[in-house]
Amino acid sequence: MFIGHAVFVVSVLLTGSIVVLFKAYRLARRRRSPLYGKQVGHVPGQMLLERIEKETGEAGFGIDVMMLALPMLFLVWATLRLDWSSVRFGATEVFMLVTWALFFAFGLWYYQRHARRREQARDGLLAERVTGMQLNRLVAKGCLVLHDLPSDVGNIDHIVVAPQGVFAIETKSFRKPKAEGKNYRVRYDGKALHFPDFVNVDAVSQAERSAQWVRRFLHDKLALDVPVVPALALPGWFVERSDSAKGSSVRVFTPMGRGAEFLGFPPEHLDATRRSLIAQSLATRYPEIAD
């Protein structure tokens, strides 16, 4: 009568052990966000966001308990009434074991896939928050700042309407290797980002597409040919620019410290009235909030 209980206990222990070992393996080998362990400040609703995430997990556990309560109790009830002496291991049992292994393998793959995606999303959210907080300081220099602007090429992370011009900024979070040394430096050659152990070209292209869309939108909306500068923010990284990067249209920078202050530098090409008009036009892309 204890075989059913043993099956349940072994399944739970096996699943828990694999999850723990998987997490330990990733902790030992994984790359870390350059913002790991840094105090980056709070955004509006920071504590509520953390509370929502915690309570979401707790609510999910409650749902799991409700869903599994009846099947688990039924399993216990059935195993207590089953005559195990009459059970023989044959083709049906082999089929059940193979099916279990397939389901288990699928569950493990699904868990790993979405655990990585959740990790990447958390890194991206933190990076965008950090960049957004630094860009918001430019308001004191006469800049107007918009975040997460809907567009036809995907949401644009940040728009800065500055006295010197309009900047379309994409924020990217790339994890640094755990190796010691200059693993926090990235070299920009005008076309690609050269990290310590890999090269990325997609981020630069994305920033260019975002800026091109903003320029087209402003031309169609206001009949103005407003130059839009594509920019790429890499919070936590030290950016080194090669000579070939000086002529590139994409500005790559770190928003940490005073890294974003160049956006508020003179000269003034857009007066306050025009900056306000541009920002208001871009703001129409946000969905309206119904009363």
Q: What is the pLDDT of residue 1?
A: 47
State the pLDDT at residue 51: 86
Question: What are the CA-CA distances from residue 198 to residues 116, 186, 187, 216, 247 (Å)?
Answer: 19, 10, 11, 33, 23
List average pLDDT for each run of 10 residues in the chain, which is 291 residues long: 59 71 67 69 69 85 84 78 77 87 86 84 88 94 95 95 97 84 85 93 97 97 93 94 90 93 92 96 89 63
Rounded to whole angstroms, the Cα distance separating 241 from 230 reads 16
| Domain map (residue ranges) of the chain | 1-9+31-286
Rounded CA-CA distance 114/117 in Å is 5
Q: Which residues of 116-142 are buried (b: 16+ CB within 10 A; e: fewer)?
A: eeeeeeebeebbbbbbbbbbbebeeeb
> For residue range 87-132, what is the model confidence (pLDDT) as tens digits?
787 888 889 889 988 988 888 888 888 888 888 888 888 899 899 9
Amino acid identity for residue 230 in this structure: P
pLDDT in tens, 189-210: 999 999 988 999 999 999 999 9
Name the phi and psi angles at 64, rounded to 5.
-60, -40
Provide the percentage of residues in the chain whose pLDDT is more than 70: 86
pTM: 0.80
